[in-house]
Structure 1
Amino acid sequence: MTPSSLLYPDAFVSPLAIDEAVRRALDEDLGRAGDVTSTATIPENIRAQAAMVARQGGVISGLPLAVATLQMLAPDIDITAHVRDGASVTPGQHLLTIAGPARGVLTAERTALNFVGRLSGIATRTAQYVDCTAGTTTRICCTRKTTPGLRALEKYAVRCGGGFNHRFGLDDAMLIKDNHIAVAGGIRAVLERARSRAGHLVKIEIEVDTLAQLDEVLDTRLADAVLLDNMDVATLRKAVERTQGWVVLEASGNVTLDTIAAIASTGVDYISSGALTHSAPNFDVAIDIEA
């Protein structure tokens, strides 16, 4: 068995999050009667040799979840990892070699592949965005637009792809959006309220969509970061010039593979995109049983 620690890149996901996600996914798939097909057709003592294979090129994420899925259904299974999460792979490359009870392998197959396909898709799309910012200091980060219940895992996949994480939830930091500003009575009022309640380790970011609003934020000197929402490249450049590094700038909105290089060239510190998680194509991966 390959030690699970060797499956991880520098990114980290809690073993508790892995265990919870795997149990929930298997409960969904096995239902009340288990895998009736494998139980009926495969003798209990038959063992299988299999390989998890990448069907496309990209960046891998989710192998610890695949291993946990297989181990949960077949504790005596033997698994060898040939790559680790965060690795770039080519079509046809073997990711895992699996040997163990055939029933367990077949029952775990789809759940294991769902995890690796979903998370590798996110890691691969993130890596594509990161590649577009080469030569700049801009960092790519995700948002809270994640699959309910899978946020920790999907944000882990973003890190596997070379991206960075925005806040994990509403309790991480203060992000003041346009509706907060409207209800609170304006930019200065909302920032003063936020600063009066923020602990010394709690950051405050505020969203603006015009340079006039940015100037108002800068006048208060109360924000740690400013989210520049749906600004064109020319306006983003002006925002960077006006700020002169005093506050962290994050660009968001209309971020695609076609636009991200130009956005990064403006000098913003971060570019956030919900598409990293909500629109990443599934990565094509399979488990092939070897005769």
Structure 2
Amino acid sequence: MTLAALPDLILEPLVKAALLEDLGRAGDLTTDAVIGAEIHHTFVFAARETGTVAGLDLARLAFTLVDPSVTFTVHVPDGARVEPGDRIATVEGRARSLLTAERVALNFLGHLSGIATATASLVDAVAHTHARIACTRKTTPGLRAVEKYAVRAGGGFNHRFGLDDAVLVKDNHIAVAGSVTEAVRRVRDAVGHLVSIEVEVDSLEQLEELLLDPVDAVLLDNMSPETTGKAVAMVAGRMVTEASGRITVDTAPTLAEAGVDLLSAGWITHSAPVLDIGLDHVDG
């Protein structure tokens, strides 16, 4: 899977908002007091632990929006795996500009690299199967586009970007509609022919009902590996099968071996640990 970069048009508003939040009403008081205006310097982004990189374009923009004369050189691209001590990128320019943008650049780079690293851990765990790893809509408000990009950088795939991407009939929809059959009927009456439909089921009985009128995909929610295997056999290729619920590096392999096409995990975006990346001083 080729990782396509997001255009700066999407990224700039996010980085601008972060810089404005950090600069406040008076700018960088510390740097402006300590560092001379014409001093130039070089810093390097270096990995301090093993992981997968994502977010370099946001880091670049943090510096160039503060000072367009800054030079940002990438040594390893987004999606690359790094070890402690590996150089990720070098930034050169006015020291004031570099230090003012440092925290915003590191916040984006560490956060998104953490998501990519978490995703890669699940991708590695199921690499012996045909299952793909997918994210969810459990993202940081305002950062969905870049967090889902980070999932792709880690080798995963994206679920819906928003409520208007596709239909996903969940348990509460079914409860209010009265049954799986009624919920699906209402959906078919309401949406266009190009809209994909997925239905969440939490029992084999619900799956049996859905199979009377199959849709595009079925979400097997919180099922054991044994039940998941039975569900996959019942579907018999008539729908894409997706498993969700407590997907971890430990549980993912067994669920993937049950034959599902996708494993979706919310924690890779909402709870992934930040990847420890430093901005280190370069002598000379």
The Cα shift of 1:94 comes to 0.8
Selected match of 2:225 from 224, 233, 249? 233
Selected match of 1:149 from 124, 142, 145? 142
Indicate the residue corresponding to 1:3 in structure 2: none
Indicate the residue corresponding to 1:253 in structure 2: 245
Contact 1:11–1:160 under 8 Å retained in 2: no
Q: Does 1:287 align with 2:279?
A: yes
Question: CA-to-partner distance for each residue in 1:3-61, whole Å, 9 max, x for gaps?
Answer: xxxxxx62332322210110011011011111011111111111111111111111100
CA distance, structure 1, for counterparts of residue 90 and residue 241 of structure 2: 45
Indicate the residue corresponding to 2:52 in structure 1: 59
The Cα shift of 1:90 comes to 1.0
Indicate the residue corresponding to 1:126 in structure 2: 119
Q: Does 1:270 align with 2:262?
A: yes
The Cα shift of 1:199 comes to 1.1
1:165-184 superposed matches below 5 A: 165-184=158-177
SS of equivalent residue, structure 2 residue 59: helix
Gaps of 5+ in 2: none
**Percent pairwise identity:** 54
The Cα shift of 1:290 comes to 1.8
The Cα shift of 1:266 comes to 0.5
Question: CA-to-partner distance for each residue in 1:43-88, whole Å, 9 max, x for gaps?
Answer: 1111111111111111100001001111111111122111110001
CA distance, structure 1, for counterparts of residue 59 and residue 16 of structure 2: 12
Q: Does 1:26 align with 2:7?
A: no
Question: CA-to-partner distance for each residue in 1:115-140, whole Å, 9 max, x for gaps?
Answer: 01000000001000000111211000
The Cα shift of 1:233 comes to 0.5
Q: Does 1:138 align with 2:131?
A: yes
User: How many aligned residue pairs are there?
Assistant: 282
CA distance, structure 2, for counterparts of residue 105 and residue 131 of structure 1: 36
Indicate the residue corresponding to 2:99 in structure 1: 106
Q: Amino acid of the residue matched to residue 82 of structure 1?
A: H
CA distance, structure 2, for counterparts of residue 179 and residue 78 of structure 1: 51
Q: Does 1:244 align with 2:232?
A: no
Q: Amino acid of the residue matched to residue 162 of structure 1?
A: G
TM-score (norm 1): 0.95
TM-score (norm 2): 0.97
CA distance, structure 1, for counterparts of residue 270 and residue 91 of structure 2: 31
Question: CA-to-partner distance for each residue in 1:155-184, whole Å, 9 max, x for gaps?
Answer: 000000000000001110111111111111
RMSD of aligned Cα (Å) = 0.9
Q: Amino acid of the residue matched to residue 278 of structure 2?
A: A
Indicate the residue corresponding to 1:92 in structure 2: 85
SS of equivalent residue, structure 1 residue 205: strand
Indicate the residue corresponding to 2:178 in structure 1: 185
